Amino acid sequence: MIHEKIDLYEYLNLQKPNGAKGYLTVYCIDQPTEIDTNRTRSAMLIIPGGGYTFVSAREGESVALAYLNHGINCFILDYSVYPNCYYPTQIREASMAMIFIRENCKKYHIDPETVGAVGFSAGGHLCGCLGNMFASEVLADLRNSDFIRPSAVVLSYPVTNYDIPSRTHIGSFNALSYNNDELAKTLSLCDMVNKKSSPAFIWHTVTDAAVPVCGSIELARVYNEMQIPLEVHLFAQGPHGTSVATKEVGSDFPKLAGWVNLSVNWLEGVGFKIFS
């Protein structure tokens, strides 16, 4: 296992905003010399949730271990949060992470054509931004900005649209925009989806009381209208923030835990390399 921590601002030689984080933790499989020293793997950038006020540990390492079990190299993003930083710091850090991964494909034996991202709750919103905003002017100054677009995104009970409180998680948008209502209105995922958006896998639970499932349903409708490759799974039962839905993360929902294998099967269908 290759395990290391990268300061993305230091790596890209960028000035770090006051109070910012921007760290990437690497979980990559050592090349198996007994099998094929030329093997390349797919990779996933993992973006935990936390309402843009903290970064959930439950949606980091356990997710990495789940994908590593299928031969996918993983990178966990520890991004900046409110009140120290707000938009566009988070999308810039996620983009910096994608640039780092693709610039280091040879080091980690990764196929640059199959580098995806998975996000949870507010991290799902950030992951969705990454899959739609890769050509945004707020990212144009980053070197190799053409490396930003994920090959696919997995959106796990994502925060989606700035809408009435009963249909979204207003707190996430308030934290991301630093309570700027006009800015928050521009950050709805449904308004970002375009013909070049990354293929998307969306999953949610119908009983999620924190981030209502209707947001994911609406987002799926927009992806479908844009004819973006898409797979959607709505589970009948389960609270918000289940991560991999195992006892390890304090969320024992065996049926819900199947989302990992479902996403892996879908990723393989869109060209990712799976070894399991």
Q: Please report the pLDDT score of residue 8 as a whole number.
A: 98
Find the domain containing 198 and state its range: 2-269
Instruction: Return d(Cα 90, Cα 5) in angstroms, integer.
Output: 18
Q: Please report the pLDDT score of residue 163 as a whole number.
A: 79
**What is the residue-level pLDDT of the chain in tens, covering all 276 positions?**
999 999 999 999 999 999 999 999 999 998 877 776 688 999 999 999 999 999 999 999 999 999 999 999 999 999 999 999 999 999 999 999 999 999 999 999 999 999 999 999 999 999 999 999 999 999 999 999 999 999 999 999 999 999 766 667 899 999 999 999 999 999 999 999 999 999 999 999 999 999 999 999 999 999 999 999 999 999 999 999 999 999 999 888 999 999 999 999 999 999 999 998
Q: Specify if 227 maps to a domain.
A: yes
Question: Which residues, 6+ apart, have CB-to-CB distance to 71 below 8 Å?
Answer: 29, 41, 42, 273, 274, 275, 276
Q: Specify if 62 maps to a domain.
A: yes
CATH code of 22's domain: 3.40.50.1820
Q: Specify if 44 maps to a domain.
A: yes
Containing 42, the helix (H) or strand (E) segment is: strand 41-47
Instruction: Return d(Cα 129, Cα 136) in angstroms, integer.
Output: 10
pLDDT tens-digit map of 213-252 = 999 999 999 999 999 999 999 999 999 999 999 999 988 8
Q: Specify if 274 maps to a domain.
A: no
Domain count, the chain: 1
Q: Specify if 136 maps to a domain.
A: yes
Instruction: Look up residue 254 and give its amino acid.
Output: P
Q: Please report the pLDDT score of residue 127 as a whole number.
A: 98
Q: Specify if 276 maps to a domain.
A: no
Q: Specify if 115 maps to a domain.
A: yes
Phi, psi of 108 (to 5 degrees): -100, 5
Least Cα distance to 77 among 88, 87, 65, 90 occurs for 90
Q: Specify if 151 maps to a domain.
A: yes
Q: Please report the pLDDT score of residue 168 as a whole number.
A: 76
